[in-house]
């Protein structure tokens, strides 16, 4: 999803009239595009929180500059136009959207506005209903004399898509109802339960289709199928919560009307309550929020509606939202859920990484079922310096935890609710032996991480090493990625236990071919192609080979520096055998290279002198032709010696390419902007780094500017 840089925007209060007009035009464009992506294509490009923030900003600017409100203003629109391909249905009563409340103050204000509008006396109770806001898509079902005759999506609120055959496949949608008014349009939300969503995605992936990002997209993509037989295979559900045209009123109150819908056979939400005032609404909001993770379906807030239908009628509507209802949203990027289990993953360098297995919960539009727990100190409630985090609260299996996502990164645990800790729980005992190979897991002084000491005898380490070996930037063998490595490693009949085995696979015997051909995704042709792709990489640059070995602390740039320092693989290998950690000509030579420090040098020497590792590397090199490293001619390069940072999306090259090219020209590539940065190359979507560079007065170029500078344009 896009980042909108919402946090970097100029405050509305200081906008000039020109600035406001430009900003409104920009917001109209972004929000219309986001609407289209969300409603028509079922593929959101903004997070809900970013969408809400931008829409709120649009409203605030319009409130300050009412003369500048545009014809195509996002505040005048509901959803998006119906997609081509479906019949169109003009709604007898418009399908509207809801205004939002983001905090308790907004709710207090909502009630105050209503009281004022109705001139409702202070002391007189004003009843509301409060119910979960289901995160799905709305559907209107038209019944004539009890028979379902038409089903339509919301579309743009005026006209929706005719999805009648599809709606008939939903179990919760009755085809016939008894005791209802002759004309009745029932409205509600189509959604998918978490367990059904997960099973559907497994089937999608097994059939080679793209999995859905979240249950809402899955529900929308399933309902809006031109072929209803596909919808039938998708486990959709429906909650009724409102109505459109009715030939006679269902009841006097919202609550009574919902009870009647239930009496016709519709599913209505069991968490719907009547509340007497704002504090009761907020209490029920908290109650629903606390149950959010265990409901089994996504909700993104709580909807409050004035209960008396006569008052709803008096209050009426603004352009796209009723005055008598509001959606009190949950904060999008945080959610509470149960931590079922702590599992340990063993990485390429032997690091034991604890992972929290969670009861699935939606955080910022994505279903999260795993979160990183970093290391044993983090679980115990301490940071790397021993200072308390979460006020020292530890994390245990069975705990009720708060999960968050910052941007698109891996989910993390923000907090633990000790009041919900199961009484029988015990502190987590971090393993001191590797769970995969049983070797001692050692934590060295000053290291936050405990590592398996098994080296290549540890199957977890060797698989992760192999995955790294074939990755982009390393050997990058077409048709041999992480998935295939997993498959080969799980299968004793097709042994690839170490990198050298990849290059002997074809030669070992023709039998491999026969064995391979019977695997998923491997036909005769693809086996042939795979062997060709492997042959293609038998000749490899020294720096790529060194990076591919996955030696701790030796990244792509480190490998390039080492390769350039030694020139040939043989010179490097010989020097590493002779080297001593801490002194001697080899050690000093390495440390003289700008960019190579004691940590990297120690890691290189240790690995190259470790008997089993070295034997494995030698077996690999015997299979290869290693190309000598070429020292770059950086003297004439305009970026030689400069520190460059790349940020945002690069469109003409990958990040890895950009970095390699810059380094080949003698530049140093850094990950973050500081006073030492000479140049920032910022693509679209650049956020805080661009701002920081601007604040520090650092020269900033776009991608084309950069290519022109280095003569690649
Ligand atoms: S009432 C006139 N109740 O939220 C207002 N809407 O953001 C009719 N939604 O378009 C809507 N749960 O798709 C209502 N319990 C609920 C809801 C709900 C989900 C959706 C609905 C609506 C959107 C507005």
Domains in the chain: ranges and CATH: 12-77+332-420 (2.40.50.140), 88-329 (3.30.470.30), 458-497+504-537 (1.10.150.20), 541-627 (1.10.150.20), 643-710 (3.40.50.10190)
Query: 424 vs 592, which has greater pLDDT?
Result: 424
Radius of gyration of the chain (CA): 31
The whole-number pLDDT of residue 210 equals 83
**pLDDT value of position 80:** 67
Active site residue 465: no
322 alpha carbon to ligand 1 midpoint, in Å? 11
Highest mean pLDDT of the ranges 50-59, 524-533, 690-699: 690-699
* CA separation, residue 121 to residues 20, 306, 312, 444 (Å): 39, 15, 17, 70
Q: Hey, which of 96, 138, 267, 316 would you mutate to test ligand 1's pocket, going by the most ligand atoms within 8 Å of its Cβ?
A: 138
Helix and strand totals (H; E) in the chain: 25, 24
Q: How far is the CA of 330 from the centre of ligand 1 (A)?
A: 15
Q: What is the enclosing helix (H) or strand (E) of 701?
A: strand 699-701
Distance CA 635, CA 639 (A): 9
- Protein residue with its CA nearest to atom 15 in ligand 1: 133
Where is pLDDT greater, at 551 or 49? Answer: 551
Which of 77, 79, 93, 98 gets mutated to test ligand 1 (max ligand atoms within 8 A of its CB)?
98
- Can you tell me whether residue 176 is helix, strand or coil? strand
> What's the mean pLDDT in 192-214?
89
Q: Looking at ligand 1, which residue's alpha carbon is closest to its atom 10?
A: 97
Over 60: is that where the pLDDT of 407 sits?
A: no
Q: Which of 19-28, 146-155, 466-475, 541-550 has the lowest mean pLDDT?
A: 19-28
Q: Is the distance from CB of 669 to CB of 646 less than 8 angstroms?
A: yes
Minimum-distance ligand 1 atom for the alpha carbon of 305: 1
pLDDT higher than threshold 50 for residue 408: no
Please say whether the dihedral angle defined by the alpha carbons of residues 341, 345, 351 and 352, taken in this order, is positive or negative: positive
Distance 120 CA to ligand 1 centre (A): 26
> Given a cut of 70, is residue 633 above it in pLDDT?
no
Q: Which of 48, 284, 327, 329 gets mutated to test ligand 1 (max ligand atoms within 8 A of its CB)?
A: 327
Strands 334-346 and 400-404 turn out to be antiparallel
Q: In this predicted structure, what is the pLDDT of residue 299?
A: 92
Q: For residues 518 and 493, what is the distance between their CA atoms, to the nearest angstrom?
A: 12
Determine the residue of 134, 160, 328 to mutate for testing ligand 1's pocket, defined as the one with the most ligand atoms within 8 A of the Cβ atom.
134
Spatial separation of the C-alpha atoms in residues 623 and 73, rounded to whole Å: 65
Residues with Cβ within 8 Å of 657's Cβ and at least 6 positions away in sequence, in order, are none
Residues 289 and 362 sit within 8 Å (Cβ to Cβ): no
Burial of 85 (0-12, 13-18, 19+ CB in 10 A): exposed
Ligand 1 centre to CA of 323 (Å) is: 13
Cα separation, 8 vs 577, in Å, equals 53
Supply the residue whose CA is at minimum distance from atom 23 of ligand 1. Answer: 97
Show the beta-strand stretches assigned E in 201-291: 237-246, 273-275
Least confident of 40-44, 200-204, 427-431: 40-44
Q: Can you give the pTM of this predicted structure?
A: 0.50
Q: Which atom of ligand 1 is nearest to the CA of 138?
A: 13
Residue identifier of the C-alpha nearest atom 2 of ligand 1: 96
Averaged pLDDT, 506-535: 75
Ligand 1 atom 17, closest CA = 133
Which atom of ligand 1 is the closest one to the Cα of 133?
Answer: 12
Burial track 162-195 (b if 16+ CB lie within 10 A, e otherwise): bbbebbbbbeebbeebeebbebbbbbbbbbbbbe
In the predicted structure, residue 5 carries a pLDDT above the cut 50: no
Please say if the pLDDT value at position 491 is more than 80. Answer: no
- Name the residue with higher pLDDT: 49 or 437: 437
Of 35, 41, 30, 24, residue with least CA distance to 5: 30
Q: Is the pLDDT of residue 544 over 80?
A: yes
pLDDT tens per residue, range 351-372: 999 999 999 888 866 788 999 8
For 443-461, the pLDDT digits (tens) are: 988 888 999 998 878 989 9
Specify the pLDDT at position 144. 96
Sign of the dihedral defined by the CA atoms of residues 575, 576, 581, 582, in that order = positive
Pocket test for ligand 1, best of 95, 96, 133 (most atoms within 8 A of CB): 133
Atom of ligand 1 nearest to the CA of 135: 19
Lowest mean pLDDT, pick from 274-288, 363-377, 481-495:
481-495
The strand ranges marked E within 10-136 are 88-90, 100-101, 128-134
Ligand 1 pocket by C-beta < 6 Å: which residues?
96-98, 131, 133-134, 138, 154, 189, 241-242, 303, 322, 325, 327
User: Which residue did the predictor score with more confidence, 602 or 11?
Assistant: 602
Across the chain, mean pLDDT equals 88
Residue with the smallest CA separation from ligand 1 atom 16 is 133
Calculate how far, in angstroms, residue 133's C-alpha sits from the geometric centre of ligand 1.
Answer: 6
In Å, how far are 325, 429, 443 from 380, measured between CA atoms?
Answer: 45, 10, 15
Report which ligand 1 atom has the smallest distance to the Cα of 322.
2
Ligand 1 centre from 4 Cα, in Å? 26
Q: Mean pLDDT across the stretch 242-253?
A: 97
pLDDT in tens, 125-180: 999 999 999 999 999 999 999 999 999 999 989 999 999 999 999 999 999 999 99
To the nearest 10°, the Cα dihedral for 320, 321, 322, 324?
Answer: -160
- Whole-angstrom distance, CA of residue 524 vs CA of residue 514: 9
Question: How far is ligand 1, taken at its centre, from the CA of residue 241, in Å?
Answer: 8
Of all protein residues, the one whose alpha carbon is nearest to atom 18 of ligand 1 is: 133
Q: Where in 145-269 does DSSP place strands (E)?
A: 147-153, 159-161, 183-191, 237-246
How far, in Å, is the centroid of ligand 1 from the Cα of 97? 6
Distance in Å, CA 98 to ligand 1 centroid: 6
Quick one: which H or E segment has residue 557? Answer: helix 556-566
pLDDT of residue 635: 66
Catalytic pick from 55, 133, 385, 465? 133
Over 70: is that where the pLDDT of 523 sits? yes
Read off the pLDDT of each residue in 320-327 and give the average, rounded to a whole number.
Answer: 94
Is the model's pLDDT at 386 over the cut of 60?
yes
Distance from the alpha carbon of residue 140 to the mean position of ligand 1, in angstroms: 12
Greatest mean pLDDT among 3-17, 506-520, 557-571: 557-571
Q: Does 492 have pLDDT greater than 80?
A: no
Ligand 1 atom closest to 327 (CA): 7
Q: Report which protein residue has its CA nearest ligand 1's atom 21.
A: 138
Are 516 and 496 a contacting pair, CB within 8 Å? no
Model confidence at 680, pLDDT cuts 50, 70, 90, reads: very high
- pLDDT computed for residue 509 by the predictor: 60
Average pLDDT over every residue of 619-628: 96
Which atom of ligand 1 has the smallest separation from the CA of 317? 2
Give 711's pLDDT tier (boundaries 50, 70, 90): confident
Closest ligand 1 atom to 131 CA: 15
Q: Give the H/E segment covering residue 625.
A: strand 625-627
Q: Is the pLDDT of residue 1 over 50?
A: no
Question: DSSP letter string over 637-694?
Answer: -TTTT-EEEEES--SSS-HHHHHHHHHHTTPEEESS--TT--EEEE-TT--HHHHHHH
**Does the pLDDT of residue 619 top 80, yes or no?**
yes
Angle between helix axes 598-609 and 569-578 (nearest 10 degrees) is 90
Give me ligand 1 centre to Cα 28, in Å: 23
Using the predicted structure, report yes or no on whether residue 513 has a pLDDT greater than 60: no
Cα-to-centroid distance, 147 and ligand 1 (Å): 24
Q: Which of 88, 99, 225, 119 is nearest to 165 (CA)?
A: 225
- What is the rounded distance in angstroms from the CA atom of residue 638 to the CA atom of residue 665? 8
Closest C-alpha residue for ligand 1 atom 13: 138
Q: Which atom of ligand 1 is nearest to the CA of 269?
A: 15
Nearest CA to ligand 1 atom 6: 133
């Amino acid at each position: 999803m896009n980042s909108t840089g919402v946090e970097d925007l100029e405050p509305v209060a200081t906008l000039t009239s020109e600035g406001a007009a430009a900003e409104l035009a920009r917001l109209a464009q972004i929000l219309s595009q986001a609407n289209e992506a969300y409603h028509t294509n079922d593929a959101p490009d903004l997070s809900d929180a970013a969408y809400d923030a931008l829409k709120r900003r649009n409203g605030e600017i319009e409130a300050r500059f009412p003369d500048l409100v545009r014809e195509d203003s996002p505040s005048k629109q509901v959803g998006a136009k119906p997609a081509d391909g479906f019949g169109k249905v003009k709604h007898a009563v418009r399908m509207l959207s809801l205004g939002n409340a983001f905090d308790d103050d907004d709710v207090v204000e909502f009630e105050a506005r209503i009281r004022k509008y109705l001139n409702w006396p202070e002391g007189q109770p004003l009843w509301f209903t409060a119910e979960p806001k289901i995160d799905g898509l709305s559907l209107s079902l038209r019944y004539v004399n009890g028979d379902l005759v038409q089903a339509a999506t919301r579309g743009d609120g005026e006209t929706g898509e005719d999805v009648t055959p599809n709606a008939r496949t939903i179990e919760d949608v009755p085809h016939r109802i008894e005791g209802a008014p002759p004309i009745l349009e029932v409205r509600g939300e189509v959604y998918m339960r978490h367990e059904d969503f997960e099973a559907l995605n497994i089937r999608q992936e097994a059939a080679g289709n793209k999995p859905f990002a979240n249950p809402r997209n899955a529900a929308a993509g399933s309902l809006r199928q031109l072929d209803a037989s596909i919808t039938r295979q998708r486990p959709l559900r429906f909650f009724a919560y409102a109505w459109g045209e009715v030939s006679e009123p269902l009841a006097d109150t919202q609550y009574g009307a919902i009870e009647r819908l239930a009496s016709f056979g519709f599913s209505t939400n069991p968490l719907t309550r009547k509340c007497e005032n704002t504090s009761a609404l907020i209490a029920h909001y908290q109650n629903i929020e606390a149950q959010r993770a265990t409901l089994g379906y996504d909700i993104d807030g709580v909807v409050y509606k004035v209960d008396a239908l006569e008052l709803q009628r008096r209050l009426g509507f603004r352009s796209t939202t009723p005055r008598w209802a509001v959606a009190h949203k949950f904060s999008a990027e945080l959610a509470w859920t149960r931590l079922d289990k702590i599992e340990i993953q063993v990485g390429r360098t032997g690091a034991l990484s604890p992972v929290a297995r969670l009861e699935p919960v939606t955080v910022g539009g994505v279903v999260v079922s795993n979160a990183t727990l970093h290391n044993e100190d983090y679980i115990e409630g301490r940071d790397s310096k021993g200072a308390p985090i979460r006020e020292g609260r530890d994390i245990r299996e069975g705990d009720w935890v708060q999960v968050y996502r910052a941007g698109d990164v891996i989910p993390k645990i923000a907090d633990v609710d000790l009041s919900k800790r199961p009484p029988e729980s015990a502190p987590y005992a971090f393993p001191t032996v590797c769970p995969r190979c049983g070797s001692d897991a050692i934590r060295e002084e000053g290291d936050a991480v405990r590592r398996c000491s098994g080296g290549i005898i540890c199957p977890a380490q060797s698989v992760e090493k192999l995955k790294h070996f074939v990755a982009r930037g390393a050997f990058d063998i077409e048709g041999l990625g992480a998935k295939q490595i997993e498959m080969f490693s799980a299968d004793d009949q097709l042994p690839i236990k170490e990198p050298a085995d990849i290059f002997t696979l074809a030669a070992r015997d023709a039998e491999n071919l026969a064995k391979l051909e019977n695997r998923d995704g491997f036909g005769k042709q693809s086996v042939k192609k795979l062997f060709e792709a492997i042959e293609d990489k038998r000749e490899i640059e020294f720096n790529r080979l060194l990076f591919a070995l996955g030696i701790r602390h030796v990244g792509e740039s480190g490998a390039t520096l080492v390769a350039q320092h030694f020139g040939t693989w043989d010179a490097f290998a010989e020097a590493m055998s002779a080297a001593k950690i801490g002194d001697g000509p080899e050690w000093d030579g390495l440390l003289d290279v700008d960019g190579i420090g004691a940590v990297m040098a120690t890691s290189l020497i240790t690995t190259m002198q470790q008997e089993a590792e070295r034997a494995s590397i030698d077996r690999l090199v015997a299979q290869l032709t290693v190309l000598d490293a070429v020292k770059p001619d950086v003297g004439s390069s305009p970026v030689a010696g400069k520190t460059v940072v790349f940020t945002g999306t690069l469109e003409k090259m990958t990040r890895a390419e950009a970095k390699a090219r810059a380094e080949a020209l003698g530049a140093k590539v850094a990950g973050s902007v500081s006073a030492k940065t000479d140049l920032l190359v910022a693509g679209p979507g650049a956020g805080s780094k661009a701002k920081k560079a601007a604040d520090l007065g650092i020269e900033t170029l776009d991608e084309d500017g950069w290519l022109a500078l280095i003569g690649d344009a």
